[in-house]
Amino acid sequence: MKILIIEDEPLLLKHLQAQFQAQQVLVDIAASLAEGRYYLAEFDYDALILDMCLPDGNGLQLLQHMRAQGGMNQALPVLVLSARNSWQEKVEGLKAGADDYLAKPYAFEELWLRLQRLVSRNLAKPRQSTLQHGAFILDLETKQLQVGTEHFALTLTEFRLLQAFFKNPQRVLSKEQLKARISEHAQECESNLIEVYVAKLRRMLGRNAIQTLRGLGYKFVPDGPMPWRQDGQD
């Protein structure tokens, strides 16, 4: 099991990390919404433990965005862990998309049991086999891309890049983030590797589907104007 904990109390984070690691759970920790968004975009998890009060906003903002955005994190089990324990605040958390809500202070044994139940329940659900944005469908099992009525077999690198874009529509992804998606040794990738593969993907998706933001990276815009592919133009 691999989980992400978004919590800004250093002692609590350290305590939770040690307790979960004793249960053979892989744990990533984030102390802000911004850091949490980064981890969710970069890695896959079996569950998220989310605090409500964070230095850069309310955790429910992130939760609502996850549930509304779609993609791989839309169905991620989320357990809200918060010092706010009134019934109104619990209802607010559940309405925002939390799967469970546990108030502080708590017993780790109860937290661990609730988390196991959430993960087991999620694993019992049919696994998502495709990611779709409009006319674009990415098959996660066959590693094929469908654009309208056309199908494209993808190389592993093309598939990994497309998966990153499909999971993060309308979000700017830097070259370094994209390199990390396609190789464990991102620093060793050729400097123009991302440009080469983005050009290949544009031939399948259409020129405007992946925008270049100079100095920042690339953004997948699946719901914009949809000119059909212009072969030979990058």
pLDDT tens, 178-194?
887 776 544 545 678 89
- pLDDT over threshold 80, residue 84: no
Tell me the pLDDT of the chain averaged across its residues. 84
Please report which confidence band the pLDDT of residue 69 belongs to, taking 50, 70 and 90 as the band edges: low
- pLDDT over threshold 80, residue 123: no
Cα angle for residues 83, 86, 88 (degrees, 5° grid): 125
Lowest average pLDDT, out of 79-88, 175-184, 201-210, 214-223, goes to 175-184
At residue 186, the pLDDT reads: 43
Report all structural domains of the chain as residue ranges with CATH numbers, in order of start: 2-123 (3.40.50.2300), 130-220 (1.10.10.10)
At residue 27, the pLDDT reads: 93
Please report which confidence band the pLDDT of residue 233 belongs to, taking 50, 70 and 90 as the band edges: very low
At residue 100, the pLDDT reads: 92
Average pLDDT over residues 29-35: 91
Lowest average pLDDT, out of 18-22, 47-51, 86-90, 163-167, goes to 86-90
Please report which confidence band the pLDDT of residue 152 belongs to, taking 50, 70 and 90 as the band edges: very high
